[in-house]
């Protein structure tokens, strides 16, 4: 795919804009690489991050979790795989951290085949490492993955144990102490999902939130790609929405601020999203620059063509 548009036989004879227009796209790739790697190295060395001002949708996520009384049950669906972890892992980490700090009882499920492994890692990094007092089965449980996408959601609506017959340790659902009394999805006052696509937040709204006779509150974190599609549901069906790494950074800064202890710096693993906003800034500027240059070429060519 490289040499196809790399043609410089009579490059000198062409006006500047033609040459620029036919520039090998690998130069653009290189620019993008520099725009992202530069800030990563700089932030990695200096440890500085940019300030975040949380928007309404992100504040709503924080408040929704914050207002739940301690020991409430929350259903957390990890609907992404490592391919999207760059965007979504910081969200999952912060969401679990806030829930753990609030002493909510967390039930993890996954509708993506690799989601179970992601949930497992998140549990390890946040709960086991930093909240070792929380006990599996009493305070949190990972129910693993189930195939079937929407049909699993449909089953969750009426029978939780049928949808997820065992947890990832092999314990039958009916023997798990914290799930005593959980019959169906609506027994959870709050549903939290982190979603990378299909099945994800949209399907949760369609198959669970809308179909539930009882009102279930729903907050979600999603990739930048799916965020625009979820805005029509906000704030009626989706109470709080974290869109892309920016949403993650906003929410992360809120959670960090709420859990900050004087004199103790926040653990660096809880600053992941905010660190990634640095490369984001430079890369966005590069994108804007590229679009502007592309259009300058376009108009220069148009003028030449018209003259």
- The answer to whether residue 269 forms part of the interface with another protein (CB under 8 A) is yes
* Choices 7-15, 94-102, 253-261, 268-276; region in contact with another protein by CB under 8 A: 268-276
Q: Which residues touch 259 (CB under 8 Å, ≥6 apart)?
A: 97, 98, 101, 266
Among 187, 259, 266, 300, binds another protein (CB under 8 A): 187
- The answer to whether residue 257 forms part of the interface with another protein (CB under 8 A) is no
Residue for token digits 């314990």?
Answer: 171
Among 17, 19, 40, 59, binds another protein (CB under 8 A): 40
Among 17, 18, 19, 50, binds another protein (CB under 8 A): 50
Give the residue from 237, 181, 189 showing the smallest Cα distance to 65.
189
Q: Which residues touch 137 (CB under 8 Å, ≥6 apart)?
A: 167, 171, 176, 177, 178
Closest CB 73 distance from another protein, rounded Å: 7
- The answer to whether residue 300 forms part of the interface with another protein (CB under 8 A) is no
Among 14, 231, 258, 304, binds another protein (CB under 8 A): 231
Q: Is 92 exposed, middle or buried (0-12, 13-18, 19+ CB in 10 A)?
A: buried
Q: Is 234 exposed, middle or buried (0-12, 13-18, 19+ CB in 10 A)?
A: middle
- The answer to whether residue 81 forms part of the interface with another protein (CB under 8 A) is yes
Q: Return the residues of window 192-211 that contact another protein according to CB under 8 A.
A: 197-198, 203, 205-207, 209-211
- The answer to whether residue 94 forms part of the interface with another protein (CB under 8 A) is no
Closest CB 119 distance from another protein, rounded Å: 9
Residue for token digits 């049950």?
Answer: 73
- The answer to whether residue 34 forms part of the interface with another protein (CB under 8 A) is no
CA 250 from centroid of its chain's CA atoms: 12
């Amino acid at each position: 795919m490289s040499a196809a548009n790399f043609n410089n036989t009579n490059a000198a004879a062409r006006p500047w804009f033609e040459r620029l227009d036919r520039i090998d796209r690998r130069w653009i790739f290189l620019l993008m690489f520099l725009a992202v790697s530069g800030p990563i190295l700089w932030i990695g060395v200096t440890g500085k991050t940019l300030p975040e001002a949380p928007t309404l949708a992100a504040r709503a996520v924080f408040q929704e979790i914050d207002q739940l009384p301690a020991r409430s049950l929350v259903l957390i669906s990890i609907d992404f795989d490592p391919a999207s972890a760059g965007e979504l892992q910081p969200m999952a980490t912060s969401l679990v951290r806030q829930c753990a700090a609030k002493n909510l009882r967390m039930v993890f499920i996954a509708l993506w085949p690799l989601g179970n492994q992601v949930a497992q890692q998140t549990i390890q990094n946040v709960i086991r490492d930093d909240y070792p007092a929380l006990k599996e089965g009493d305070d949190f449980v990972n129910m693993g993955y189930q195939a079937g996408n929407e049909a699993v959601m449909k089953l969750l609506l009426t029978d939780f144990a049928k949808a997820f017959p065992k947890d990832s340790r092999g314990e039958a659902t009916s023997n798990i102490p914290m799930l005593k009394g959980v019959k169906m999805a609506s027994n959870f006052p709050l549903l939290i999902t982190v979603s990378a696509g299909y099945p994800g937040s949209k399907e949760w709204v369609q198959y669970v939130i809308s179909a539930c006779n009882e009102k279930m509150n729903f907050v979600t974190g999603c990739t930048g790609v799916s965020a625009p599609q979820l805005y029509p549901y906000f704030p009626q069906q989706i109470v709080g929405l974290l869109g892309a790494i920016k949403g993650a950074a906003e929410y992360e800064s809120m959670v960090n601020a709420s859990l900050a202890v004087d004199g103790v710096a926040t653990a660096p693993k809880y600053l992941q999203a905010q660190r990634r906003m640095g490369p984001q800034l430079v890369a966005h500027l590069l994108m804007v620059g590229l679009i502007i240059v592309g259009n300058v070429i376009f108009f220069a060519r148009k003028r030449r063509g018209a003259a």
